[in-house]
Amino acid sequence: MDFQTIKARDDQYVVHTYNRFPVDIDHGKNATLWSAEGKEYIDFTSGIGVNSVGVANPKWVDAVAVQAAKLGHMSNLFYTQPCGALAERLCRRAGMSAAFFANSGAESNEGLIKLARKYSFDKYGKGRGTILTLTNSFHGRTVTTLAATGQDVFHNYFFPFTDGFRSAEPTMDGIAQVAGHDVCAVMLELIQGESGVWPLEQSFIHDLAVLCAERDWLLLVDEVQTGIGRTGTLFCYQQYGILPDAVSFAKGIAGGLPFGGFLVGEKCRNVLGLGTHATTFGGNPICAAAALTTLDILSEEMMGEIADKGKYLRSAIEAMDLPCLGKTRGLGLMIGVEVKPGQTNRDVAMKLMDNGLLVLTAGPALRLLPPLTITKDEMDKGLAIMKQTLS
């Protein structure tokens, strides 16, 4: 099918909530993708950090196919092996105690919110259900996770939003200004992804962790984007030197299937008891099998390679000294590139796309989230397109 036909059908029958780039993707191999008409693209997006082990990774394809042929789904009223195996593996690598599995980032964060409120209710009763979040954060698109998101542009149309969130500037003064006796938790991203790839200060995170412990506020880390190897450790908090009370994950966990969840530390392992939380597809065996294989591929040894690839891309981009691009920031293969005034990040992304390189935008920046398995050859091809397009 040609692109115009694909586009026309989509325009007519799909609700117009996405500002799609004028490209269709039909198939791929690792970080190289092809349109239905056969145009080749180097992929620095991995489907917004989802295709963490690349497209059509043979181990992943095999794991999904084998599990699909065995058991595609069973409810959470019964035991299935992939779910427990995955929970054990994640807890061991993350230093956490137990896992709950869900289907998306927003749903996983909803779980963190319920966890914090239940923890506080059990211990202190009503009136302590407020969760502090940070300005420029992003936590999802449900009514509650929009309320948690610390950006006013997201607080439109869908009134009434869920009560019980206040956002603070990411400094200890900022936190002090919105703190109060009604607070039960702080929820944050260590690198704010959607708003432009902004790593938070390590000293702020340390001080905040101390304050949380003093006040018995749960420290909830949203690692939907930063988690599962993206920043060069399984979870980003492992580089910040903190142990959260609970952490959410989604995007990259199952290498392309819709999956997510959260891990809880010892203090919170029994907070959500029987009947307090559930989701029909949570822990689905195909997704769990895909996640186990994703974790096999993203081994501890592989974490160092991810960090090195990130450094390689960032220094290559800065060394090109392109007229429209400025400094880079981020950790591992979560990279923000400053776009200088004169053109928008979307204009730059469109030009790159025309020449065969897919990148993302976030806030005012270009955002690069390539598959963690991207090869040197694929990185070099992408960099060459960047140089040729933007010089």
Ligand X SMILES: *Cc1c(COP(=O)(O)O)cnc(C)c1O
Query: Which residues within the stretch 69-108 sit at the binding site for ligand X (CB under 6 A)?
Result: 104-106
Closest to 31 measured CA to CA, from 386, 315, 389, 359: 359
- Between 32 and 226, name the residue whose CB sits nearer to ligand X: 226
In the complex with ligand X, which residue's Cβ is closer, 198 or 381? 198
Token output for 207: 């001080």
Angle (deg, nearest 10), helices 345-354 and 376-390: 110
Q: Please, what's the b/e burial string for 86-113 (b: 16 or more CB within 10 A of its CB; e: otherwise)? A: bbeebbebbebbbbbbbbbbbbbbbbbb
Q: Is 224 a binder of ligand X (CB under 6 A)?
A: yes
Compute how many other C-beta atoms are within 10 angstroms of the C-beta atom of residue 6.
Answer: 16
- Residue showing tokens 């035991």: 79
Maximum Cα–Cα distance across the chain? 62
Q: Which residue is nearest to ligand X (CB)?
A: 105
- Contact 51/370 with Cβ under 8 angstroms? no
Is 253 or 385 the residue whose CB approaches ligand X more closely? 253
Nearer to ligand X, 138 or 240 (CB): 138
Smallest separation, CB 69 to ligand X (Å)? 27
Nearer to ligand X by C-beta: 228 or 385? 228
* Shortest spacing between CB 153 and ligand X, in angstroms: 16
Look at the block and give the residue holding tokens 């003093």: 214
- In contact, 260 and 224? CB cutoff 8 Å: yes
State how far the Cα of 369 lies from the Cα of 360, in Å rounded to an integer.
8
Structure tokens at 60: 């992943």
Residue 228 · residue 249 · CB < 8 Å: yes
Question: Shortest distance, CB of residue 45 to ligand X, whole angstroms?
Answer: 13
Question: Which residues, 182 to 211, sit near ligand X by CB under 6 A?
Answer: 189, 193-194
How far from the centroid of its chain's Cα atoms is residue 103's Cα? 13
The answer to whether 215 touches 183, Cβ cutoff 8 Å, is yes
Please, what is the angle between helix 376-390 and helix 300-320, to 10°?
Answer: 20
Shortest separation between residue 361's beta carbon and ligand X, angstroms? 14
Closer of 122 and 201 to ligand X (Cβ): 201
Comparison of 51 and 225: residue with beta carbon closer to ligand X? 225
Nearest to 99, CA basis, from 306, 242, 253: 253
Please list, in sequence order, all residues whose beta carbon lies within 8 angstroms of the beta carbon of residue 254, skipping any fewer than 6 positions away: 287, 288, 290, 291, 294
For the segment 10-29, give every residue that binds ligand X (CB under 6 A): none
Quote the tokens at residue 21. 């780039």
Q: Which two tokens stand for residue 143?
A: 């009514």
Phi-psi region of 321 (alpha: psi -120 to 50; beta: other; left: phi over 0): left
Q: Which of residues 124-153 bind ligand X (CB under 6 A)?
A: 138-140
For residues 63 and 134, which CB has a smaller minimum distance to ligand X in the complex? 134
Nearer to ligand X among residue 219 and residue 383 (C-beta): 219
- Cβ 157 to ligand X, closest distance in Å? 18
Query: Residue 330: what are its φ and ψ, rounded to 5°?
Result: 130, -165
Positions in 301-340 near ligand X (CB under 6 A): none
Nearest-approach distance from CB 141 to ligand X, in angstroms: 6
Looking at beta carbons only, is 32 or 137 nearer to ligand X? 137
Query: Applying CB under 6 A, what is the total number of residues that bind ligand X?
Result: 15
On the CB side of 209, CA atoms within 13 Å amount to 16
Nearest distance from residue 149's CB to ligand X, in Å? 8
Question: Looking at 91-99, 152-160, 165-173, 217-225, which segment touches ligand X (CB under 6 A)?
Answer: 217-225
Nearest approach, Cβ of residue 323 and ligand X (Å)? 30
Nearest distance in Å: CB 62, ligand X = 25
For residue 245, the minimal CB distance to ligand X (Å) is 17
Interface with ligand X (CB under 6 A): 104-106, 109, 138-140, 189, 193-194, 222, 224-225, 250-251
